Structure 1
Amino acid sequence: MAAVIVWTKVEGQEKYKALARRLREASRGDLQRKLTRAIRAEGDPALRAVQGRFRTVDVTSEGPGGSSSGLRARVAAATRISILGSGIRIRVEPKRVDPRHGRTLSFGVNGKYWRHPVFGNTQVWTGQRGQEVFYSTLQRFETRWRAGIERAMDEIARQIEG
């Protein structure tokens, strides 16, 4: 199961769905791909911002430890963007972070508390907490996303209508 964060939805989803239906009816896969690329381009700056924030997030520890396992970099590398019928989704793919504990680690770096043995030593445990990343990073992109997605949809609609 993936740790999923859905940030923004396109207002007027009906307009987007109607446009998708018109694209299918017009058999214009090229325009559908163009729309998907345009929407992805609107989300890419936010994706890079989230990845950058994960690389620098402050993770506090209690107890022994102190060495880095590369968790921040793994979470940043596992952060992906998807285009949905309802908007843009930016999520961390937990299995890319760690096959066994990726979900816990992903949520932990994003502000939740987690406890674990220090480098696998079950005799020595530590607790850690990251900082919230998604909301604080993405909130500044919402207005830009909405406007950019609307522009892309209007452009494709004009091309369908000729």
Structure 2
Amino acid sequence: MAVTLTVEQQALKELGRALRAETDGKAIRKDLIRQLKQPLQPAVTEIKSGVMSMASGGLSHGGEPLRAAVARKIRAEAKLSGYAVGVRVRARKTEAVRGFRNAPKRLNSPKGWRHPVFGSDRWVQQIGKPRYFDEPLEGRKAEFRRAVIEAMDSTARRIGYRIKL
């Protein structure tokens, strides 16, 4: 499968390469990553509060609550090199929560998930909070794009590099 990078992704990748050549490139790179992730933080907070506001029920199980485990795994990420260059909000799988690895995905799905009822042969369909992850990000793409370009531009000016957008 071929991967096509957008102009901004290619420019971000080239800026990452330019930072490697700088003497204080690691510190500048950390600042750039912080600037890239900063505009996503309100959306991340909104996503986490969305999953935490989901209704809860059932028996006590003694482990980590599902909602808290899913919220803990949601974070903003920035990548300057490699396969998937860019900035994104990501919900990692929840390995240790009662064997429910795909909890972030299934809680977001309008179809929900099926699971057996404890102590019986019955299976039930359960729905989490559909679109808790998608809604805070919708309609903000232009805002995020503008913030990424501003962060790239300020970093490029800082090291005397010219971005080709």
Query: TM-score normalised by the shorter chain: which range applies?
Result: 0.7 to 0.9
Amino acid aligned to 2:134: Y
Task: Give the structure 2 partner of residue 95 of structure 1.
Answer: 94
Q: Bigger shift: 138-147 or 31-40?
A: 138-147
Give 2:76's match in structure 1, choosing from 59, 77, 81. 81
Please report the TM-score for the alignment, with normalisation by the length of structure 1: 0.75
Where does the alignment leave 5 or more consecutive residues of structure 1 unmatched? 1-8, 60-65
The alignment-based identity, stated in percent, is 27
Q: Bigger shift: 66-75 or 16-25?
A: 66-75
Task: Give the structure 2 partner of residue 67 of structure 1.
Answer: 58
Task: Give the structure 1 partner of residue 53 of structure 2.
Answer: 56
Distance 1:44 1:68, change over 3 A: farther
Distance 1:68 1:38 in 2: 43
Amino acid aligned to 1:14: Q
Contact 1:78 1:97 in 2 (8 A): no
* RMSD over equivalenced CA pairs, Å: 2.6
Q: Bigger shift: 29-38 or 90-99?
A: 90-99
In the TM superposition, residue 37 of structure 1 has moved relative to its aligned partner by: 0.8
In the TM superposition, residue 107 of structure 1 has moved relative to its aligned partner by: 2.1
Distance 1:81 1:58 in 2: 25
Contact 2:79 2:86 in 1 (8 A): yes
User: More relative contact order in 1 or in 2 (CA 8 Å, sep 6+)?
Assistant: 1
- Which protein is richer in helix relative to its size? 1
Q: Where does structure 1 differ by over 4 angstroms across 4 or more consecutive aligned residues? A: none
Q: Bigger shift: 33-42 or 126-135?
A: 126-135
- Which protein is richer in strand relative to its size? 1
